[in-house]
Structure formats: structure tokens, C-alpha cells
Amino acid sequence: MILGTIFVFIGLFLAIPAAGIFGVLWTLVAVGITGFQAYNFFSDKGVASWDIDTDDDDKEDKNNQSTCANGDFEIRIRKLNRLKEDGLITEEEFQKKRGEILREKW
């Protein structure tokens, strides 16, 4: 906003007298940008209205961890099942590893 104000003054005192219509265009654009930035700065809908909520971080972390754990659990079981279907592990190895994964979940 401050820089925009400087460009407005440059437009008024340097660009308009030296460049004519281009100086007028320069000044109008500078006024528009400065006005937009001032609106964002001083209004409730602009930059100043952003809030950061930090009270619920611990709850969200726990929820994210449980979601990740459930997702990880499901992925591991699916990979294990795929290995068995592809014939890369035996039924006995499958049951043993499946039991380990189930014990980890609970």
C-alpha cells in the first residue's frame, strides 16, 4: 500500500507531465492497486480477518494419527493379501504376518 502510494505520486508529478496519456494510465493503475490493497488492509474481509485456531491442535493430531493408523493397517493387510494371491508367500506366512498386524492394531 505504501509502495502504491509512492507510484501514485510518481504518476502525478513525473509520469503525467513527461509522458502524457501514458502517465494518466500509469496513475490510474497505481490508484487502483493502492485502493485495492488499502481495502484489504482495513476491511474485515481482507488480510486482517485471517484467524489461526490453535486450541484444537492436539485433538486433530490424535484424530489424524488414528486415521493414519487405520489407513496404514488397511494398506498393510491389502499388500499382504496381494503377496499371498501372487504366490510369493505361503498361507502359513500370511496367517502369521496377518496376526502380527492385527495385534499391532489393537
> pLDDT tens digits, residue range 68-85?
556 687 888 889 899 999
Task: Let me know if residue 71 belongs to a domain.
Answer: yes
Task: Let me know if residue 101 belongs to a domain.
Answer: yes
CA distance 82 to 76: 10
From the CA atom positions of the chain, what is the Rg in Å? 31
42 & 70 share domain: no
pLDDT tens, 19-59? 999 999 999 999 999 998 888 888 766 654 555 556 655 55
Task: Let me know if residue 55 belongs to a domain.
Answer: no
The reported pLDDT for the residue numbered 17 is 92
The reported pLDDT for the residue numbered 27 is 94
Task: Let me know if residue 22 belongs to a domain.
Answer: yes
11 & 42 share domain: yes
The reported pLDDT for the residue numbered 73 is 79
Residue 70 structural domain: 62-105
The reported pLDDT for the residue numbered 37 is 87
pTM of the predicted model as reported, rounded to 2 decimal places? 0.42
